[in-house]
Structure 1
Amino acid sequence: MKITRKKGPLYLQIKDIIRDRIIKGQYLKNTLIPAEPVLEKEFSVSKITIRKAVEQLSLEGYVEKKSGIGTRVLENIIVPKMSKGKAFSEQLASEGHQLEKKNISISIVNSKEHYSLQEHMGSECYCIERLFLLNNQPFIHFTHYVPLEASFSLDLNLFIGSLYDSLFKKGLVINRFNDEFEVEVPCEKVTSILHTDQKSLLKRLRSSYDSDEKLIEYSIAYYNTEMHKYVIQYND
């Protein structure tokens, strides 16, 4: 496969290619990826470049290198680069809380009011509204925007499970997230759904990009942090 220095460091390009193969199932979990000499030949690069790519994959939690054995795939799902620790939902579960997702609506909307959406998703995109319940009480309100190429059904009964898994199954593979946080009083609709007064709530804006830096998911989330603080766990 041809790679070029114009797209950035070679080892990062190779890392992204191998990671995509892992996520798409070409390299299965608990199996070995091709040996270094095979990858050197495929990408026409040095052993050092391949080793740097594998080191990055290891740091991100996708593979584990064992001397005398090879490099084994540890994970075949998207691993957030911000942390190798527990996701917020996993943290809540480990504390004994019950977290439940409920779909509110899914529709096709005009994206012209949001420049970044129109630039990456065209004039229309999906809008998915979801509610997370913490111990049966409204906790987080999500509004997700995803491109029409996801080919989602507008039947709420068919839209279940993880949104990111659904995107992956449609060939939309997330490479990185960008999260921004602010405090804002939400609109009356969100306030009503979360059963909160007109007060400031934690707001998270998430942009999810593929390996070509195309925006494939944009979401706005409001958290009722009086119920539970938003926790980001960092591990070494």
Structure 2
Amino acid sequence: MKLTLKKGPLYVQVQEILKKRIISGIYPKDSLIPSELELKEEFDVSLITIRRAVEELSHQGYVEKKSGVGTTVLDNHAVSKLSKGQRFSEYLIKEGYHLKKESASLSTVELEESSDLFKHFGKTCNCVERLYTLNEKPYIHFKHYISKDVTLPNNPDSLLDSLYEIFFQQGVTFNRFKDEFGVDVPDQSIADALEVEQKPLLHRIRYSYDVNEALIEYSVAFYNTDIHRYVVNFDV
């Protein structure tokens, strides 16, 4: 396979190709990816380029390199761990809780020119609304505002799958995420969905940017922390 610098740094191109192979299952979870020498031959690049690409995948949580063993696939999700921090959903499941995506809907939202999202998405964007339950009790309410450049399935059941996997299938590659936490009072409709009174709740906003620094997704989540606190768990 011949790579060209016209498409950007060679190590980034190798990294993205390997990442797509991992996510699509060509390199299954817990399997070994080809050796550095094999990848060097395939991509016709230097060993330094291959090592840097694999190092980036390791930092993102997709693979783990062990001396004498090789490079093992750790995670095959479209959005992997960006640090050693454990995903909140993974923590809950590991602790024995039953976390479920209960319902989902899709609509089109008209954006006002004065809104922050207008400059990113234009006049309209998709809005996916989802409700999660914890041990069958309403726990998290999400609203995902998504660029119209992304084609979403009309079937609500399909929207219960990982949105990031859907993004990946559309050719979207994420570069970075920014989370902001605070406390806010939700709209009455959100309070009703969470089966709580309209009161201050833990509030999270996420900005998801692609490799071109374009905002692809802006999501707003409210958590009923009376059921369970939000936990950030770090492995040492």
Distance 2:96 2:69 in 1: 39
Query: What's the TM-score, normalizing by structure 1?
Result: 0.80
* Corresponding residue number in structure 2 for 1:57: 57
Q: Pick closer, same or farther for the CA change 1:100–1:67 going to 2, 3 Å.
A: closer
Tell me the CA shift for residue 128 of structure 1.
0.9
Distance 1:104 1:25 in 2: 27
Q: Pick closer, same or farther for the CA change 1:32–1:93 going to 2, 3 Å.
A: closer
* Corresponding residue number in structure 2 for 1:126: 126
Once the two structures are superposed, what CA deviation does each residue of 1:11-46 show, in whole Å capped at 9, x if it has no partner? 5665455434533556554242463475489475x5
Once the two structures are superposed, what CA deviation does each residue of 1:212-233 show, in whole Å capped at 9, x if it has no partner? 2222211000011111110111
- Structure 1 range deviating more: 134-143 or 64-73: 64-73
Q: Pick closer, same or farther for the CA change 1:74–1:157 going to 2, 3 Å.
A: closer
* Corresponding residue number in structure 2 for 1:218: 218
Check conservation: 1:185, 1:198, Cα contact below 8 A.
Answer: yes
Check conservation: 2:36, 2:50, Cα contact below 8 A.
Answer: no
Q: Pick closer, same or farther for the CA change 1:71–1:105 going to 2, 3 Å.
A: closer
Distance 2:113 2:204 in 1: 19
Task: Report the number of matched residues.
Answer: 232
Q: Pick closer, same or farther for the CA change 1:113–1:205 going to 2, 3 Å.
A: farther
* Corresponding residue number in structure 1 for 2:160: 160
The 5 A counterparts of 1:115-154 are 115-154=115-154
Query: What's the TM-score, normalizing by structure 2?
Result: 0.80
Which consecutive residues of structure 1, in runs of 5 or more, have no partner in the other structure?
A: none
Which consecutive residues of structure 2, in runs of 5 or more, have no partner in the other structure?
A: none
Once the two structures are superposed, what CA deviation does each residue of 1:138-165 show, in whole Å capped at 9, x if it has no partner? 1111101112233223342443322222
Once the two structures are superposed, what CA deviation does each residue of 1:39-59 show, in whole Å capped at 9, x if it has no partner? 489475x54443233223223
Q: Which amino acid aligns with 1:231?
A: V
Check conservation: 2:32, 2:70, Cα contact below 8 A.
Answer: no
Check conservation: 1:61, 1:75, Cα contact below 8 A.
Answer: yes
RMSD: 3.0
Q: Pick closer, same or farther for the CA change 1:117–1:34 going to 2, 3 Å.
A: farther
Tell me the CA shift for residue 182 of structure 1.
0.9
* Corresponding residue SS for 2:149: helix
* Corresponding residue number in structure 2 for 1:2: 4
* Corresponding residue number in structure 1 for 2:110: 110
